[in-house]
Structure 1
Amino acid sequence: MDHLRAVPAGVSPSGEASVGLGLSDLLKRSSRGDGAAFAQFYDETSTRAFGLAVRVVRDRAQAEEVTQEAFLEVWRSASRYDAAKGSAIGWLLTIVHRKAVDRVRSAEAASRRDTSYHQDNHAVAHDATAEAAEATMEARRVRSALGELTRVQREALELAYFGGYTHTEVASMLDLPVGTAKTRIRDGLIRMRDAMGVKGS
């Protein structure tokens, strides 16, 4: 991962090392232009960020690009991080996941354009519109249901289901006992199911 390490343009790496500071504090310092704090934040989180990107895009070269793009956004928008809404690592991984999904969708769209000449344009347009409408409605339901969760439940669910991490990995990332992580994920799923009006089996 050393070849990934790069402080964004305009970031001054000068400054004292922020030894002993948590990730949230490093983000706060980064928001004030502290390049040393940002470099330390990168060092402590880049392996997890890259791992998530690889899981989603399935290509190491593209995962490296996604990771760099995510950290560049972190540097530019560190001031928007709100510790009351979730952990620093959760915030970072949400950005990584979003960018990785965008990369996958972009690649899929390019692939579809390459083959669309041989397809029935009218039928495809109709099906795509219906599918897009259905996907949009479902996404709204999911976002609404996520809003019903507590912060800790939402954080655990996002890592487990959007990030693709195992219960053990989620527990490690959130510094929790495995049993506690499992409970948060289970309770969050139950609450989401109820919010979406889905009957349990």
Structure 2
Amino acid sequence: MRRHLAHLSDEALVALVARGDEPALAELYDRVGRVAYGLAFRVLRDERLAEDAVQEAFLAVWRTAARFTAERAKASTWILTIVHRRAVDLVRREEHRRAEPLDAEPEEAAATDSAEEAAWLGFERDRVQAALKQLPDAQREAIELAYYGGFSQSELAERLGQPLGTIKSRMFAGLARLRELLDEGAEEGSWKPQFTS
């Protein structure tokens, strides 16, 4: 039924989705859904929540496809970014839902440490995301697909239609610059957690 869509690029499919083409959305899901689920599961560590994140992300793709700009990112990167945001939102929602007033029990100290650690991890995640946004698009895309999408460098080369050496140099340069940006942020007096026992 969707065989006529198989030859289209992901970007062309997003354009069709923007016009309300449901088969185009289904074709996008077939192409990106497995990687999207893997990304969501890595963030959430829960199958049900990962499925929810992917479902919410593809609903967002359906609603916002008209805003996609092919010049800014590949369609698959755009979709995986939405998936990652939904997964992080679900982590926060679940943490908030599970948060209950603490009774004065021995578990209180462990819960406090856990909350501080979660806050620190959230802070670090935000710092990394801000630093990633400062990278050139090609470097950012390669790093995001490798680390969030789970692609190997060989798979990236094939997916992006670039020589393996180009992918390796993009990732090397991107990671080196990312390290510099994160170090600069630390030197500027970024907040550091005070874990107390």
TM > 0.5 fold call: yes
Q: Describe the SS at the equivalent of 1:20.
A: coil
- The answer to whether structure 1 residue 157 and structure 2 residue 146 are counterparts is no
CA–CA distance in 1 between the matches of 2:43 and 2:120?
A: 24
Match of 2:173 in 1: 187
Give the alignment's Cα RMSD to 1 decimal: 3.4
Of 23, 28, 35 in structure 2, the residue corresponding to residue 41 of structure 1 is 28
Match of 1:6 in 2: none
CA–CA distance in 1 between the matches of 2:161 and 2:6?
A: 19
Report the CA distance shift for 1:178/1:158 in structure 2 as closer, same or farther (over 3 A). same
Amino acid at match of 1:92: I
Deviations 1:61-112 (A, max 9, x none): 2222211111110000001111111111111111111111222232233334
Deviations 1:117-157 (A, max 9, x none): 34769xx5xx85xx959965x66654553343211101112
- Give the stretch that moved more between structures: 31-40 or 74-83: 31-40
The number of residue pairs the alignment matches comes to 180
- Give the stretch that moved more between structures: 29-38 or 82-91: 29-38
Taking every aligned residue pair, what percent have the same amino acid on both sides? Answer: 41
Match of 2:83 in 1: 96
Contact in 1 for aligned 2:2/2:27 (Cα 8 Å): no
Amino acid at match of 2:174: G
Contact in 2 for aligned 1:18/1:37 (Cα 8 Å): yes
Of 147, 152, 160 in structure 2, the residue corresponding to residue 174 of structure 1 is 160
Structure of greater relative contact order (alpha carbons < 8 Å, 6+ residues apart): 2
Report the CA distance shift for 1:17/1:188 in structure 2 as closer, same or farther (over 3 A). same
Q: Describe the SS at the equivalent of 2:171.
A: helix
Structure 1, unaligned stretches of length 5 or more? 1-13
Contact in 1 for aligned 2:15/2:65 (Cα 8 Å): yes
Structure 2, unaligned stretches of length 5 or more? 185-197
Match of 2:48 in 1: 61
When the two structures are superposed, what TM-score results if normalisation uses the length of structure 2? 0.72
Q: Describe the SS at the equivalent of 1:85.
A: coil
Match of 2:57 in 1: 70
When the two structures are superposed, what TM-score results if normalisation uses the length of structure 1? 0.71
CA–CA distance in 2 between the matches of 1:146 and 1:54?
A: 21
